[in-house]
């Protein structure tokens, strides 16, 4: 897969309980380790479900959605980042030199990354 929807990130207040449920109950597997987060891979696919640990209260009935990520090969990612800058879209977060976080017109956080 060169680009496209790769993961959905959801908030959780209990990372251990979330891991147990998705691994032991639903059969997902850990895709890779990441501190304070849980990346789970769906069986037979490359889709990821990402849980982000938070101490802040949130109402699951209102949705615990944090962001979704779009993956690009590095050359294309650089072009997309240049377009974001040219459009005057505010970058409100970064992860090293491989990811930026922006807000879409609906208020959703979108991670654009190339790692």
- Proportion of the chain above pLDDT 70, given as a percent: 91
Q: Check pLDDT > 80 for residue 1.
A: no
Which pairing describes strands 65-71 and 91-95: parallel, antiparallel, or unpaired? unpaired
What digits encode the pLDDT tens for the residues 16-70?
Answer: 999 999 898 878 899 998 999 999 997 667 789 899 988 887 776 676 778 888 8
Q: How far apart are CA 45 and CA 83, in angstroms?
A: 31
Through-space distance between the first and last CA atoms of the chain, rounded to whole angstroms: 13
Which DSSP helix (H) or strand (E) runs through 10? strand 4-12
Pairing of strands 48-53, 4-12: parallel
Alpha-carbon distance of 109 to 102, in angstroms, equals 6
Domains and CATH numbers, the chain: 1-66 (3.10.180.10), 72-115 (no CATH)
79: Cβ contacts below 8 Å, ≥ 6 apart:
none
């Amino acid at each position: 897969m060169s680009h496209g929807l790769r993961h959905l990130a959801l908030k959780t207040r209990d990372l251990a309980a979330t891991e147990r449920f998705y691994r032991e109950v639903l059969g997902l597997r850990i895709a890779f380790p990441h501190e304070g987060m849980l990346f789970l891979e769906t069986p037979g696919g490359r889709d990821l479900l990402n849980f982000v640990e938070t101490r802040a209260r949130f109402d699951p009935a209102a949705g615990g959605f944090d962001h979704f990520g779009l993956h690009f090969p590095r050359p294309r990612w650089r072009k997309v980042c240049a377009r974001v800058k040219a459009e005057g879209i505010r970058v409100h977060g970064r992860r090293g030199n491989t990811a930026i976080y922006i807000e879409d017109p609906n208020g959703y956080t979108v991670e654009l990354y190339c790692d």
